[in-house]
Chains A and B, each alone.
Chain A
C-alpha cells in the first residue's frame, strides 16, 4: 500500500539508476560509468528503439568552435524563444555536443564525408545512432533492463535512493537501490501516435514531482507536427517544400510549415481538410530528400502516393512537450533537480535553457539530449562519490502518490484497463484539440482544468497500481493527467503570447513577463515566476 515499500522478486543495488534508454539516458549511463559508477539503465520499452529519436533522422546542433558560427547558432532561436534561453547554457551545450559528436565518430558512427573529406556531423540517423548507443552502454558495463517501467521512486529524508517497477514481459517486480537517479524518460505527447512518441507519457515528470521536484516552462507544451492523416510520420521540416491546398487544388492562403501552421490548424478546426504537396522541391533534390529521411517516404511508398506530385491530406499531430520545451526544472550545471540525488536529462528536463519557449524540435533537442545526459551522468556519479558508506543501508519508502498493489489482481484486469483507457481519452480530449491547446484562452483553460482536476482526484482515490503492464498504463494515465494540469496552470499564468505559447486573449508579448514559470504540486498545483539568468561564466568539464 502507499508509502510502505514492498521489495520485489528482483533486488539490485547500483550507484546510479538511469530511467529511460533514449539518447539522454544512454549518454547519462555511459558518462556515469566512465566516472567509475556502477550503473543500471531501465527502459519501459527497449533501449535502442524507444523514444522519438530511434525511428527518425534528426539534425544535430553541431557547430564548430568558431566565434561567428557559434554566435549565429545561439541567435537562431533566441528571439523566437522569447529570450528565455541563457547564453552560458547554450555555450556549454554547443561545446559538449561538439565533443560528444566527435567521440561518436571515433567509436564507430558511420558519418558521411563532405567535399573536403571531413566527417559530416550535423545529423544522426535514429536507428543507427540508438543501436550504437545500446552497444556502447553495454560496453561501458551498464546493466540494461528492457521492458521495465518504473512505477515509483524510493526516497528517505536525504533524498532519492532508487526506484521500483516491473518487468512487463515476466511480471517480476524489481527494486533498484541507487545513490542517485537520472530521469531521462522523455517528454509527453499524450499517446498521439506521433512517430516514436507513444512511450513518452510524462512518466518522469510525475516521478519527479512526487519527490517534490519542480517543473519549468510547462506552458511551452503545445507543439503540433504536420503529418499525413494516414501516417504516424511527423517530419515538419520537409513541409518547408510544400504548398497547401484544398481538395479542389486551390491554395490555402497563408498556410505554411512554420508560421503558417496556425492557418492549417484553423482550417482543420473549421472542418476543412487541408492537403499538401511537396511541389517546391526541385527535381534534383528529391532523391536527396528521400535518402535523408527514408522513414518520411515509407508511408507514401506503401500507399502508392508520390508526395512531390500528388496531393495528400494532412493533419497536425500533438507532440506536446516532446517538441515543446517544458520539463523538469534543473538547478545547476550538473542537471540536478532541487531534490538531492535526483537528476533530469533530455526531453524530461526543461529545454528553455537553450531554446526558451520556441520549439526544441530537431537539432536542439538532439544536442540537449546528449549534453544534458552527459552532465547528469557526471553529476550523478560525483554525487554518489560524496555519499557516506552507509548509503547502501538506507531505509527507503515509496514517493508515489498512488496506491500500489503487491500482486496482480486476477479479477479486475479488464475493468482496470477500460477505466485507464477512459481516463486517457478524457485527458486527450482536453489537450489535443487545437482550440484548447494550440490557441489558448482563459475560459477554455479553466474549463479544461476543472475536468482535469476531477480526473486527477478520481485516480488518486481509486487507482491501485499493480505490478504489471496494466499498472504501467495506469501510471501513464496519471502522468498525462498531471502533465496536462501543470501545462494548463502555467498557460493560464502566462497572460501573454511568447514562444509557442499563444493566448487568444493576450496576443502580444509582454515585456513584464520576461521570466520563466516554475510549477509543481500534485493535488494542489502552484505556479510561480523565476528570473532568467542573463549571464554567468561556467567551468566546462571534459567530455567522455
Chain B
C-alpha cells in the first residue's frame, strides 16, 4: 500500500494524481498532493514509476498500513529503486529492451 509521499522531494507535478488507477491521491492547490484514499491503493506500484523525482514509496503489503517513514526508507536505500530497475528516468535504458528478456526464453520452464 502507498505509505510515503515525500514533501521534501515532491515538485507538485501531480502526475501521481493523474496516473493512479484507483484515484488514491488528491491535488491540493499550491501544495503537494496528499494520499487521500490510502485503502483504495491496489499496490500496483505504477505511481512510483511515473513520479519523476522518486517521492513515492509503496510498501509490498496490500492489505495493511505498515507505517514506514521516509527516514527509514532513506537509510535502507529503498526509495526510487523500482523506477531504476524498470529503467525509466533520464539517461536510463528501459528494461524492456534488456537482452535477458530473450535469454531467459532459452531456459524457461514456463
Contact with A along B71-110 (1 / 0, CB 8 A): 0000000100110011010000011111111111101011
Stretch at the interface among A195-203, A329-337, A352-360: A195-203
| B94 near A122: Cβ-Cβ < 8 Å | no
Category for how many chain A residues contact B:
35 or more
Known contacts A49-B44, A49-B46, A125-B94, A147 near B100 by CB under 8 Å: no
Q: Can you name 25 A-B pairs with beta carbons within 8 Å?
A: A49-B21, A49-B46, A51-B21, A55-B45, A110-B96, A113-B99, A123-B105, A124-B96, A127-B49, A128-B94, A169-B23, A169-B27, A193-B43, A195-B42, A199-B22, A231-B62, A232-B44, A232-B60, A285-B107, A287-B100, A291-B95, A291-B100, A294-B86, A299-B60, A301-B81
| B101 near A237: Cβ-Cβ < 8 Å | no
Enumerate A93-132 residues with CB–CB distance to B below 8 Å: 109-115, 120, 122-125, 127-129
| B42 near A197: Cβ-Cβ < 8 Å | yes
> Inside 8 A of B78's CB, which chain A residues have their CB?
302
Q: Which residues of B contact A (CB under 8 A)?
A: 17-23, 27, 40, 42-46, 49-50, 59-63, 78, 81-82, 85-86, 88, 94-105, 107, 109-110
How distant is B105 from chain A, measured CB to nearest CB, in Å?
A: 6
Known contacts A199-B42, A241-B109, A298-B60, A45 near B98 by CB under 8 Å: no
Look across to chain A and name the residue whose beta carbon is closest to the beta carbon of B107. Answer: A285
How distant is A306 from chain B, measured CB to nearest CB, in Å?
A: 15
| A123 near B44: Cβ-Cβ < 8 Å | no
Q: Is A347 an interface residue (CB 8 A)?
A: no
Q: Is A50 an interface residue (CB 8 A)?
A: yes
A168 in complex: contacting residue of B23, B61, B62, B95, CB < 8 Å: B23
Look across to chain B and name the residue whose beta carbon is closest to the beta carbon of A21. Answer: B21
Known contacts A55-B45, A197-B42, A198-B22, A120 near B94 by CB under 8 Å: no
Known contacts A127-B86, A230-B60, A288-B107, A112 near B22 by CB under 8 Å: no
How distant is A146 from chain B, measured CB to nearest CB, in Å?
A: 7
| A294 near B95: Cβ-Cβ < 8 Å | yes
Q: Is A469 an interface residue (CB 8 A)?
A: yes
Q: Is A48 an interface residue (CB 8 A)?
A: yes
Known contacts A46-B19, A294-B86, A127 near B102 by CB under 8 Å: no
Q: Is A525 an interface residue (CB 8 A)?
A: no
> Inside 8 A of A146's CB, which chain B residues have their CB?
18
Q: Give the CA-CA distance A349 to B96 in the complex, in Å.
A: 28
Q: Is A338 an interface residue (CB 8 A)?
A: no
Known contacts A112-B98, A291-B100, A291-B101, A196 near B42 by CB under 8 Å: yes
Tell me which of A54, A198, A280 has the highest count of chain B C-beta atoms within 10 A of its own C-beta: A198
Look across to chain B and name the residue whose beta carbon is closest to the beta carbon of A300. Answer: B60
Q: Is A386 an interface residue (CB 8 A)?
A: no
Contact with B along A349-387 (1 / 0, CB 8 A): 000000000000000000000000000000000000000
| A232 near B62: Cβ-Cβ < 8 Å | yes
> Inside 8 A of B45's CB, which chain A residues have their CB?
55, 295, 298
| B44 near A196: Cβ-Cβ < 8 Å | yes
Q: Give the CA-CA distance A238 to B110 in the complex, in Å.
A: 8
Q: Give the CA-CA distance A6 to B60 in the complex, in Å.
A: 43
> Inside 8 A of A446's CB, which chain B residues have their CB?
none
A231 in complex: contacting residue of B40, B60, B103, B110, CB < 8 Å: B60
Q: Give the CA-CA distance A109 to B96 in the complex, in Å.
A: 8
Which 10 pairs from chain A and chain B are nearest by CB? Answer: A45-B21, A299-B60, A198-B42, A110-B97, A291-B100, A232-B43, A125-B96, A232-B62, A120-B102, A55-B44
How distant is B93 from chain A, measured CB to nearest CB, in Å?
A: 8
Q: Is A406 an interface residue (CB 8 A)?
A: no
How distant is A269 from chain B, measured CB to nearest CB, in Å?
A: 20
| B101 near A292: Cβ-Cβ < 8 Å | yes
> Inside 8 A of B44's CB, which chain A residues have their CB?
49, 54-55, 195-196, 232
| B86 near A240: Cβ-Cβ < 8 Å | no
Enumerate A280-320 residues with CB–CB distance to B below 8 Å: 280, 285, 287-289, 291-292, 294-295, 298-299, 301-303
Known contacts A54-B46, A231-B60, A45 near B86 by CB under 8 Å: no
B21 in complex: contacting residue of A199, A285, A288, CB < 8 Å: A199
